[in-house]
Amino acid sequence: MDRAVPGWRNPSAISFVRAVRDFQSGVQTPRQFLEHCLETIAAREPAVKAFVTLNIEAARAAADEATVRYRTRRALSMIDGCPVGIKDIIDTRDMPTQMGSPIFAGWRPRYDAACVHALREGGAIIIGKTVTTEFACGEPGVTTNPHDPRRTPGGSSSGSAAAVGAGMLPVALGTQTGGSTLRPASYCGAFGFKATHGVLPMAGVHPISVTHDHLGVIGGTLEDTWRIASHISVAVGSPGNVLLNGASTELPSAVKPRRLIRLYTKGWDETDAATRDALDALAGQLAHAGVEIVSRKTSRGIAELEAMLDDGFVERSVDLKAYEMKWPYEQYLARHGNVVVKRVHDRIAKAKTMAPADYESRLAERAAMREKWHAAARGADGYFTLAASGPAPVGLEYTGAWTGKMAHYVRPLIG
């Protein structure tokens, strides 16, 4: 993991999409695929520590049911038989949801979150709950990086990224309020995906900041990642929002972009040389293939956009999050303040200094940034930038670079 390699793929990753072909032909069954996952968990979990809870008996029962369905050609969906891990801030009716916090130790919801309900209805196998930092915004958990136990797996979706990166699962659910899906996925050698804000449902997911929170999907392959996300979008949607790109569960065909916007942002200043070289090489490959690359070096509009991103925008977004955390975190502090992580105390203290007019001002500033973002994107097919400022850092005391300086942090606030 110390060397950034263009085109590198995680050799531990497993593919559910490929397994489905075997299910359909009878070469392999969902139960056999699950057992492979369980064998990997047994071998690697003592070091990786990706899971809070495992429900192996229920997973095997669900896999047996999926096996019968494939044998009789009655698969429920394109995700039938897929083992999935669930971040432990997402409600599950058959396992505790403990938020990484002592105040929720042993707490059991009565119902599944909307996304978990969608997965079960499609025949997915919910194998367990994965480690999260406290309330997805606090201190790191016990999880280590599956490629080097000295290194952080990233956060806050630490366990989900590590489980997929270790080949324990083909896919797992995470969440993202800042960079909590993309960063750990990057550190652990997996694909991280978060849709436009609001497209995937957050019902039954513990909130941090309702205008920032996203459901995320982490997969060992791009196909698996898309298939899970699109199934959730189709099955339960998100009230008031459109479906995910037409909601086909098949990964859309590749289309060569005509023009892409490259963002540097403040994070570029803390990026190591190997990572810079890797992104430069990618940009060169795209240009050689005939894709026009636009950046702050060639476009005044992009330079102005980056200047706005760098001019205290992250700090203003933190203000928004602090204000939106007042419920339920003020109540947590009132009743359990002695055991709640310091970051929550700091955010609520900040919220108490803000008047409603301050919050409205921050919303207006974000709306202006979104307009600038969309204006800059007109005539281009997309943006690209780094998902993290380099390989996973050594040490488990924190979850990596402060990704507020990276474009992937601010993109959820804009799109």
Share in percent of the chain as helix, strand, coil (round to 5): 45, 10, 45
User: Does residue 23 belong to any structural domain of this protein?
Assistant: yes
Are the beta carbons of 291 and 258 closer than 8 angstroms? yes
For residue 348, the Cα-to-chain-centroid distance in whole angstroms is: 25
Are the beta carbons of 386 and 408 closer than 8 angstroms? yes
User: Does residue 349 belong to any structural domain of this protein?
Assistant: no
Are the beta carbons of 94 and 61 closer than 8 angstroms? no
Please tell me the distance from the alpha carbon of residue 408 to that of residue 389, in angstroms, as a whole number. 10
Exposed e or buried b per residue across 95-131, where buried means at least 16 C-beta atoms within 10 angstroms of its C-beta: bbbbbbbeebeeeebeebbbbbbbbbebbbbbbbbbb
Q: What is the pLDDT of residue 402?
A: 53
Tell whether 169 and 27 lie within a shared domain.
Answer: yes
Tell whether 160 and 265 lie within a shared domain.
Answer: no
Query: Which domain CATH number covers 28?
Result: 3.90.1300.10
Residue where a domain stops, chosen among 247, 270, 304: 247
- The residues with which 130 forms a beta bridge, in sequence order, are 51, 87
Tell whether 117 and 57 lie within a shared domain.
Answer: yes
Are the beta carbons of 15 and 40 closer than 8 angstroms? no
Tell whether 306 and 176 lie within a shared domain.
Answer: no
Reported confidence tier of residue 360, pLDDT bands at 50, 70, 90: very high
Q: What is the pLDDT of residue 410?
A: 35
Are the beta carbons of 393 and 150 closer than 8 angstroms? no
* pLDDT at 398 exceeding the cut of 90: no
Are the beta carbons of 112 and 105 closer than 8 angstroms? no
- Look at residue 6 and give its three-state secondary structure: coil
Are the beta carbons of 39 and 56 closer than 8 angstroms? no
Reported confidence tier of residue 2, pLDDT bands at 50, 70, 90: very low
292: enclosing H helix or E strand:
strand 292-294
Residue where a domain stops, chosen among 247, 279, 303: 247
Looking at residues 22-28, what average pLDDT do you find?
97
Are the beta carbons of 164 and 13 closer than 8 angstroms? yes
* pLDDT at 164 exceeding the cut of 90: yes
Tell whether 240 and 278 lie within a shared domain.
Answer: no
- Look at residue 294 and give its three-state secondary structure: strand
* pLDDT at 413 exceeding the cut of 80: no
- The residues with which 292 forms a beta bridge, in sequence order, are 259
How many domains is the chain built from?
2
Reported confidence tier of residue 385, pLDDT bands at 50, 70, 90: very high
Residues with a known catalytic role: 87, 156, 180
Q: What is the pLDDT of residue 106?
A: 98
Please tell me the distance from the alpha carbon of residue 225 to that of residue 245, in angstroms, as a whole number. 14
Please tell me the distance from the alpha carbon of residue 198 to that of residue 241, in angstroms, as a whole number. 6
Give the pLDDT confidence of 101-122 residue by residue, as tens digits: 999 999 999 999 999 999 999 9
Task: Name the residue among 216, 89, 212, 193 with its Cα closest to residue 141.
Answer: 89
Residue where a domain stops, chosen among 194, 216, 247: 247
Q: Which two tokens stand for residue 293?
A: 């690359």
User: Does residue 155 belong to any structural domain of this protein?
Assistant: yes
Q: What is the pLDDT of residue 7?
A: 52
Please tell me the distance from the alpha carbon of residue 395 to that of residue 204, in angstroms, as a whole number. 32
- Evaluate the omega torsion of the peptide bond into residue 156 and state whether it is cis, within 30 degrees of 0: yes
Tell whether 175 and 68 lie within a shared domain.
Answer: yes
User: Does residue 288 belong to any structural domain of this protein?
Assistant: yes
Q: Which of 204-218, 227-241, 307-321 has the highest mean pLDDT?
A: 204-218
Q: What is the pLDDT of residue 314?
A: 84
Tell whether 170 and 222 lie within a shared domain.
Answer: yes
Q: Which two tokens stand for residue 179?
A: 């960079």
User: Does residue 197 belong to any structural domain of this protein?
Assistant: yes
Q: What is the pLDDT of residue 309?
A: 87
Q: What is the pLDDT of residue 334?
A: 98
Tell whether 158 and 40 lie within a shared domain.
Answer: yes
Q: What is the pLDDT of residue 8?
A: 56
Reported confidence tier of residue 250, pLDDT bands at 50, 70, 90: confident
Tell whether 90 and 207 lie within a shared domain.
Answer: yes
Q: Which two tokens stand for residue 334?
A: 């009132």
Q: What is the pLDDT of residue 247?
A: 53
User: Does residue 9 belong to any structural domain of this protein?
Assistant: no
Return mean pLDDT, the chain: 92
Tell whether 208 and 321 lie within a shared domain.
Answer: no
Higher pLDDT, 329 or 6: 329
Enter the pTM of the model: 0.93
What would the 3-class secondary structure string for 156-218 be? CCHHHHHHHHCCCCCEEEEEECCCCCHHHHHHHCCEEEECCCCCCCCCCECCCCCCCCEEEEE
Tell whether 284 and 161 lie within a shared domain.
Answer: no
Tell whether 229 and 283 lie within a shared domain.
Answer: no
Give the pLDDT confidence of 259-296 residue by residue, as tens digits: 999 999 888 888 999 999 999 999 999 999 999 999 99
Higher pLDDT, 310 or 14: 14
Are the beta carbons of 190 and 165 closer than 8 angstroms? yes
Looking at residues 139-157, what average pLDDT do you find?
96
Are the beta carbons of 139 and 51 closer than 8 angstroms? no
User: Does residue 284 belong to any structural domain of this protein?
Assistant: yes
Q: What is the pLDDT of residue 190?
A: 97
User: Does residue 239 belong to any structural domain of this protein?
Assistant: yes
Reported confidence tier of residue 414, pLDDT bands at 50, 70, 90: very low
**How many Cα neighbours within 13 Å face the side chain of 203?**
16
Please tell me the distance from the alpha carbon of residue 233 to that of residue 118, in angstroms, as a whole number. 9
Q: What is the pLDDT of residue 332?
A: 98
* pLDDT at 3 exceeding the cut of 50: no
Looking at residues 197-215, what average pLDDT do you find?
96
- How many CB atoms are located within 10 Å of the residue 404 CB? 17
> Which DSSP string do the residues of 312-362 spell out, in sequence order?
THHHHHHHHHHHHTHHHHHHHHHHHTTTS-HHHHHHHHHHHT--HHHHHHH
- Evaluate the omega torsion of the peptide bond into residue 328 and state whether it is cis, within 30 degrees of 0: yes
* pLDDT at 5 exceeding the cut of 70: no
Residue range of the domain that includes 171: 16-247
